[in-house]
Structure 1
């Protein structure tokens, strides 16, 4: 009886007939500046001296001006998805489509793009042997294997080894062996491409992400957990810290002058490091990486944002960004959405199937629930149980118990659930990719349709007058919906939202979330330029 009583008590606080709608909104006000990329990963310096950077979520390869940090697109969607980039002995280029499972290649800027290998999910790092022209590539996270890829694309890849421990950003050494990190074992190793033999060089790492040589044969490697760039003694295995950077490092590359370039996925940052002095200079970067889900504190002063490679808090008055968690430097698991509980943050990751509960008081992790099927959103009910929507199964689950170990299927047959909110009337409202806005009654388990025919609805928030605000990123607009009648009105158009998802990604791509404060001001993040914006009702 808790929820019906609550609904009755709140019914007098706002009436849905008639409703006073804001007729317009201000132009988007920038709260956090935009940045390039969508997480930056593989790096390479080509024979022309160009610094190239790959972004998996951004689905593109970019050219970065080393002097002024300007960024332009070299290869865009959908062929540009690149977790790593390699330059061959004659200037040819190959790259890996992590989600698409493809190895792509072209001889030069004017040549056609070829697919050399496919059906390799999690294809991650690759490099050429400059003496023989052989091309090698590894699978990590969605697989664990090392392959030699046929340069003509006519023959299937040759398997070299499996179950190595995550052979991430590697490079071919002068001796023809492959040198790189085993992500899950904390080691830098070398592997014989002929028979897959592995020899450990160093175990002085927490989570090594990549390794590269300079022109003199010195070996450098990065530790994504500690944020350190290290030089590795190949005989003793001892390491020396060259530069202390931030966690979430992903890749490195060197130019002809042996300057080192390091990518950081959590800040869309590329840093140039002088290996002799350790001096570090940021070439490009941003406060946000891939902003997705967001939720607002009750007082409207703090906006929590799931930034894929970090979980962050933003002061809505100043725009100051504070890291709560960073990927690979904490227990964060690629957060895609965040909900506000009474005393907890509810953080979901559909890429790792995780729900993480974090204390709002001291930022400690209270619970980690795994083996969910692409969870897209979570809300906390009055009794402390958690509702979780699964995009992978179309289910709505209720998690209960001290460790949320008890699971009950409360709904089946949802068509791509994206966002959920617990409204002031005690009902749960949720958007579905099928174009439906639905109402779920937690007390009765009843699901009803509020509005249909929406254009791929994603983000959802409740306005002060009781209307619902829904994001339709594919139409680059927000619409208001009367939850009693289902009547919809376009609230604002031509917003910087609606990035097309790349190959292998969920249909939402990076979901556009919404948050509204007591004054009706609307917060949204751009999946186009990574900026955070505010709309003020006029």
Structure 2
């Protein structure tokens, strides 16, 4: 038996788009935190060029700005660094004395950054030791010099916008009760726009002169991150959740310039109605023919399994949560685990979780009591259950084990990750070999292998998962779900539907 693979969505070339700024050449430069890249986009043609590749010195670019001489300044969020990329392409480290630097702005020959942490600072980095303009930021983010000569910046945690003179002083509250502010930007007419990081894609317009009147524009773009105006006052926005670049017109109409898509995806599951759900780092999402639809912005969703109206998800940062699709309520089932990844539901409703960092498999019952089903594994990545048994893939040892007796049921794999069991067949995503292998559990014979789309191996040096107490860049993994005689696999920036050849 063989399978034919088809993509359920088109991959986006910008898997998560963060800071954006127009460069001296008129192109829009896009920082991609998860991908570790910076790309240059021609808004007229949609042509993209990677100008800072993932194997360079910058690990986690989040925001960027251009200096008067054409140098690009980059906040490297997780390692806590700020870089200068000279016009000739050479890099200079500006500082490594900041914690989660995010917002960045150039004012002539002066450089300013802020920190995306509670109690963060706003700093000038023009030369020598960083100069603190102010502290107490409730998680700063994208900022800009206003027409009045002040620096404007958001407090993400408190829904406020402040301003401060570039030479320092007392911060002044500009606007309160702003919807989930993540970035402030000024149009050419001096109007202040504040982007929301929420699901509705709200942009708040604030008239700073006179009445301070506000108006809301709802773009429908989940997870806005940053924005830039071109010389014709056209607004282009990025999305940390959906990636891509979109032009937003004043009346709310949108034009996709670089296509949106998945940030991952990571885990995949299929509910009883046949709907495919994915855990896409910043959200739970459904792949559809023309788009990736956001079910809920649920940060750091990595493993996922459907259970009636419930979706159980894991986070590599230590949590197991249950999301109720009918009420949109989120319940934390466990926390402070060591890189939980794959998750399954037994017939008795108990959650089974692969705790990759601890080499264990856990059980979480209806009362959220956590117990250990197995330990001493190398790196358990995924779990699967059938009517009688539970199975776990061990990426480090190249094996899939039956947990009940610790017996290897299939082995010799090169980095097995996602697994699922259906109709007596074990399906294994063998990531080291770039394929899905199906094994008959009765005979232990390989039934079929299906090659996955080739992807260049990453040479990125990923920072720690948690830095300064905040999440870093997650480790990617390939998941597989069996449903209706076919398979669904997260790979190549999309979900692959593997259809048996006789049904293709």
Specify the TM-score bucket, using the shorter chain as the normaliser: 0.7 to 0.9
1:419 to 359, 382, 385: 382
SS of structure 2 residue aligned to 1:389: strand
Could you tell me which residue of structure 1 aligns to residue 94 of structure 2?
Answer: 116
2:453 to 482, 485, 495: 495
Which structure has the highest strand share of the two? Answer: 2
Q: Where in structure 2 are the equivalents of 1:186-225 lying within 5 Å? A: 186-192=159-165, 194-195=167-168, 197-225=170-198
* Cα distance change, pair 156–302 in 1 and its aligned pair in 2 (3 A): same
CA distance in 2, matches of 1:163, 1:414: 44
1:459 to 408, 415, 418: 418
Q: Give the superposition deviation at 1:183.
A: 0.6
Q: Give the superposition deviation at 1:451.
A: 4.5
SS of structure 2 residue aligned to 1:340: strand
Could you tell me which residue of structure 2 aligns to residue 530 of structure 1?
Answer: 494
* Cα distance change, pair 529–343 in 1 and its aligned pair in 2 (3 A): closer
TM-score normalized by structure 2?
0.86
SS of structure 2 residue aligned to 1:290: coil
CA distance in 2, matches of 1:74, 1:530: 24
Could you tell me which residue of structure 1 aligns to residue 469 of structure 2?
Answer: none
Is the aligned partner of 1:468 residue 2:426?
yes
TM-score normalized by structure 1?
0.81
CA distance in 1, matches of 2:396, 2:130: 37
Q: Give the superposition deviation at 1:412.
A: 3.7
**238-247 vs 45-54, which moves further:** 238-247
Q: Give the superposition deviation at 1:45.
A: 0.6
Q: Where in structure 2 are the equivalents of 1:211-290 lying within 5 Å? A: 211-225=184-198, 226-234=200-208, 237-242=212-217, 244-275=219-250, 279-290=253-264
1:428 to 383, 388, 391: 391
Could you tell me which residue of structure 1 aligns to residue 154 of structure 2?
Answer: 181
CA distance in 1, matches of 2:118, 2:347: 38
CA distance in 2, matches of 1:97, 1:165: 19
Q: Give the superposition deviation at 1:414.
A: 3.5
Could you tell me which residue of structure 1 aligns to residue 125 of structure 2?
Answer: 149
Q: Give the superposition deviation at 1:428.
A: 3.0
Could you tell me which residue of structure 1 aligns to residue 106 of structure 2?
Answer: 128
CA contact (8 A) 1:305 1:313 kept: yes
**413-422 vs 233-242, which moves further:** 233-242
CA distance in 2, matches of 1:414, 1:148: 48
Could you tell me which residue of structure 2 aligns to residue 365 of structure 1?
Answer: 329
Q: Give the superposition deviation at 1:38.
A: 1.1
Aligned length: 489
* Cα distance change, pair 122–377 in 1 and its aligned pair in 2 (3 A): farther
CA contact (8 A) 1:341 1:379 kept: no
**301-310 vs 496-505, which moves further:** 496-505
CA distance in 2, matches of 1:417, 1:121: 32
C-alpha distance after superposition, 1:467-516 (max 9, x if no partner): 32222334322233455786668712352457636622669732111112
C-alpha distance after superposition, 1:77-120 (max 9, x if no partner): 13354211111122110112223433222121x33122323375
Q: Give the superposition deviation at 1:222.
A: 0.8
CA contact (8 A) 1:204 1:239 kept: no
* Cα distance change, pair 320–182 in 1 and its aligned pair in 2 (3 A): closer
**39-48 vs 379-388, which moves further:** 379-388
Q: Give the superposition deviation at 1:228.
A: 1.7
1:513 to 451, 470, 479: 479
* Cα distance change, pair 454–162 in 1 and its aligned pair in 2 (3 A): farther
CA contact (8 A) 2:123 2:130 kept: yes
Q: Give the superposition deviation at 1:211.
A: 0.6
SS of structure 2 residue aligned to 1:246: coil
SS of structure 2 residue aligned to 1:454: coil
Q: Give the superposition deviation at 1:448.
A: 4.2
Q: Give the superposition deviation at 1:25.
A: 2.6
CA contact (8 A) 1:32 1:533 kept: no
Question: What is the root-mean-square deviation of aligned Cα atoms in Å?
Answer: 3.1
Is the aligned partner of 1:93 residue 2:93?
no
2:62 to 65, 70, 83: 83
Could you tell me which residue of structure 1 aligns to residue 401 of structure 2?
Answer: 438
